[in-house]
Amino acid sequence: MGTTAQDDLQYLRQMAEQGEKQPIQGGEFGILWGSLYMLASLYAYATLSGLLPFSNSTVLIAFLLPIPIGLAGHYVLIKRAAFQPGAFSFGNRTSSAAWSTVGLSAGAIFVCILAGKALNLIALDEAVIWGILQAIVFSMYSVAYGTTAQTSGDKFLYAYASMGLAMAVATIFSIGHLEMFLVLAAGVFLAGVLPGIISIKRS
């Protein structure tokens, strides 16, 4: 059964009303994942620069450890988020879909890099590979924030989108240097933890 132009307009009006004035939620997720990887990146910089007396091999563990911890915390937060007012608004559903895509995409690339290096299928230097991944992730931050800003009408989110893009550019210019880990730490804080804190206070 086909729809009329009036039906289409009504559907669009309903979507707009769903997202209108509904605060974007999910700041807890940004705080969770951002904090874990901020600590991991600071540990990596301190270890590789000799500030901490640990083996360089522990850096990989530092980046793998947040995965099970983060997934466990993520599961708990999802259960809680389902009962929050406005959780199923159009803006919040768009935000959830966008950030789920960011997480799955980053995870898939991460696993492929690990497998490729283990099987000697990737010839590029590790610093270049991880730098490219870091730049891609921050670019995806920008897309996720920009998409959510457009659908929710919350123009404040464009500032976070700009921050994600800025961190992607900073990453490119720091590839091959230990400062890349400091860029990562700053990026996940400014584009993950801080927006999460502000989001909770605004909601």
- pLDDT of 182 > 90? The answer is yes
Which tokens in the block code for residue 123? 């010839």
Would you say the C-alpha torsion 109, 113, 114, 116 has a positive or negative sign? positive
Range of the domain at 78: 23-202
**73 closest CA partner among 185, 196, 173, 160:** 196
Is residue 1 included in any domain, yes or no? no
Q: Is residue 144 part of a domain?
A: yes
Asked if the structure places residue 6 within a domain, the reply is no
50: alpha, beta or left? (left if phi > 0; alpha if psi -120 to 50): left
Asked which of 87-91, 109-113, 159-163 is least confident by mean pLDDT, the reply is 87-91
Q: With the C-alpha atoms ordered 25, 28, 33, 34, is the resulting torsion angle positive or negative?
A: positive
Please report whether residue 146 resides in a domain: yes
Residue 2 counted as domain residue: no
pTM, rounded to two decimals: 0.85
Tally the domains of the chain.
Answer: 1
Indicate whether 7 belongs to any domain.
no
Per-residue pLDDT tens over the stretch 95-126: 888 999 999 999 999 999 999 988 989 888 88
CA dist 149 and 159 (Å) reads: 10
Residues 164 and 139 sit within 8 Å (Cβ to Cβ): yes
Identify whether 185 is part of a domain: yes
Closest listed residue to residue 144, CA positions, set 128, 124, 161: 161
pLDDT at 94: 84
